[in-house]
Amino acid sequence: MDTVSHVKNSRRRIVATLAGVAGTIALAGCAQNAPQDTFVPKGDNAQKIDTLQKVVFPIAGLVGVLVVALAIYIFIKFRDKGQDIPAQSHGKPTVEIILTIVPALILTVVGVFTFRTIMDLAKTTDTQMVINVTGQQWWWEYDYPAQTDQGITQPIITSGQLVIPVGTNVLLRETSRDVIHSYWIPALNGKKDAVPGRIHLLRLQADKPGIYAGQCTEFCGLSHANMRMEAIALSKEDFAKWVAGQQKGYTSPDEGTKAKEGETVFINQCSRCHQVNGIKDANGKAIISAPDENVYAGAAPNLSHLMSRTTFAGAMFDLVNQKCRDDVWKAKSDEFGAKYLTGVTTDCLNQKNLRAWLRNAPAMKPMYSDPTKLAKTGGKYRGMPNLGLSEDDIDKVVAYLSTLK
């Protein structure tokens, strides 16, 4: 092969690669069923961002295309062809003034609208409900402080799925127990970092009942990609029912049942990390779990009402089987609440996922939980370790967890 055709070939290859990459990026924008599409706002706050974006993006796009096109034209037209250096001149005041004033005007217009939107999104005076959101490797905890106007008389603690009433201005107070995470439900608002030692505020409001998916958007270590979240919006009546369910007290399984045996396994194996509100040990003493000794973040999900959520482990895995999942996800907005509130029934429980998790959690979700490598993490787990449970114990624990409605 001679040099000329070699150069031609490699140039062709570069062009083909670039075209491939550009094509892939363009096609990625055409997804049909994209629950995390930023351009489909489903609430006030996201709507404000979208309204701003609809003005700014075309202006920025036009300027971008003009600048790139002009640059390419100049690169080609005036490239070095061995010509003489053109006459050198300095300054053209009219051009310079125009080139300063026009961008300044554009930026001022964009800036005014952007600033107004930022101020609107930072407003807290119209807050109707507050939820504390804590990020940690690799799941989100939600704690609802008591607030009687929302019917919450005792604090609620849950994880993965953020349940909110529709048409309500909810204020999230975000923080983190380990590294920086970022909370983002694209259909409801922009993203906000959750930073250890700080509290950042994020407004959320959903127009209609439904599930709004999101994802941690600040790289936070090994399982960052497996750190998801879902906002579940319920009608006000359904939300009240959900709250009532979360405030139900604990019922220990009946003596002599498999679930009762599971409770014992739970007390021995799990309660050193996981809290179940109201659970008592054999002497009738309340068990308050103290995971800070074992887990880097100092917390593990509260399992008091595990079966009221349809996903687990950072909303990564379905706690319900495919049929029940479709029932909830594909429900019409007026039927959604009733379907979600049914929770995880025996028929719906995704035995396969839950058992796999109990058998060996780090095999499902990469975590720094290998006891032989804990030196790296100061002797503490990030995530849930493989507990080496027997199949018999797993049966019992599943029977027990199924009672945590």
Residues that bind ligand HEC (CB under 6 A): 138-139, 159-160, 266, 269-270, 272-274, 291, 294-295, 300-301, 303, 306, 312-314, 358, 365, 381, 383-385, 387, 389, 397
What is the distance, to the nearest Å, from the Cα of residue 305 to the centroid of all Cα atoms in its chain?
21
Longest dimension (CA), the chain: 99
> Given the complex with ligand HEC, which of 191 and 272 has the nearer CB atom?
272
We find the least distance from the C-beta atom of residue 177 to ligand HEC, in angstroms, to be 11
We find the least distance from the C-beta atom of residue 124 to ligand HEC, in angstroms, to be 29
Neighbours of 16 (CB within 10 A): 10
What is the distance, to the nearest Å, from the Cα of residue 135 to the centroid of all Cα atoms in its chain?
10
We find the least distance from the C-beta atom of residue 274 to ligand HEC, in angstroms, to be 5
In this structure, what token pair is assigned to residue 162? 């953020």
**From Cu ion, ligand HEC, none, interface partner of 162 (C-beta below 5 to 8 A by class):** none
**From ligand HEC, Cu ion, none, interface partner of 216 (C-beta below 5 to 8 A by class):** Cu ion
Closest by Cα among 284, 231, 179 to 36: 231
Three-state secondary-structure class, residue 178: coil
**From ligand HEC, Cu ion, none, interface partner of 295 (C-beta below 5 to 8 A by class):** ligand HEC
Q: Which of 202, 220, 243, 394 binds Cu ion (CB under 5 A)?
A: 220
> Given the complex with Cu ion, which of 315 and 344 has the nearer CB atom?
315
> Given the complex with Cu ion, which of 182 and 289 has the nearer CB atom?
182
We find the least distance from the C-beta atom of residue 177 to Cu ion, in angstroms, to be 11
- Binding characters for Cu ion, 128-167, by CB under 5 A (x = yes): ----------------------------------------
We find the least distance from the C-beta atom of residue 311 to Cu ion, in angstroms, to be 16
We find the least distance from the C-beta atom of residue 1 to Cu ion, in angstroms, to be 51
Residue 147 CA to residue 259 CA, distance in Å, equals: 34
Closest by Cα among 34, 82, 394 to 186: 34
Query: How many degrees, rounded to 5, is the angle at CA 140 between CA 139 and CA 141?
Result: 125
Paired sense of beta strands 161-165 and 228-234, if any? parallel
**From ligand HEC, Cu ion, none, interface partner of 336 (C-beta below 5 to 8 A by class):** none
**From Cu ion, ligand HEC, none, interface partner of 328 (C-beta below 5 to 8 A by class):** none
CB contact burial 247-271 (16+ within 10 A = b; e otherwise): beeeeebeeeebbbbbbebbbebbb
**From Cu ion, ligand HEC, none, interface partner of 220 (C-beta below 5 to 8 A by class):** Cu ion
Three-state secondary-structure class, residue 20: helix
Amino acid at the residue 250 = Y
Q: Which residues pair with 158 in a beta bridge?
A: 142
Three-state secondary-structure class, residue 347: coil
**From ligand HEC, Cu ion, none, interface partner of 181 (C-beta below 5 to 8 A by class):** Cu ion
We find the least distance from the C-beta atom of residue 190 to Cu ion, in angstroms, to be 16
> Given the complex with Cu ion, which of 328 and 361 has the nearer CB atom?
361
Q: What are phi and psi of 251, to 5 degrees?
A: -120, 120
> Given the complex with ligand HEC, which of 291 and 343 has the nearer CB atom?
291
**From ligand HEC, Cu ion, none, interface partner of 272 (C-beta below 5 to 8 A by class):** ligand HEC
We find the least distance from the C-beta atom of residue 319 to ligand HEC, in angstroms, to be 8
Residue 124 CA to residue 137 CA, distance in Å, equals: 28
Three-state secondary-structure class, residue 305: coil
Query: How many degrees, rounded to 5, is the angle at CA 318 between CA 169 and CA 139?
Result: 55
User: Contact residues for Cu ion (CB under 5 A)?
Assistant: 181, 216, 220, 227
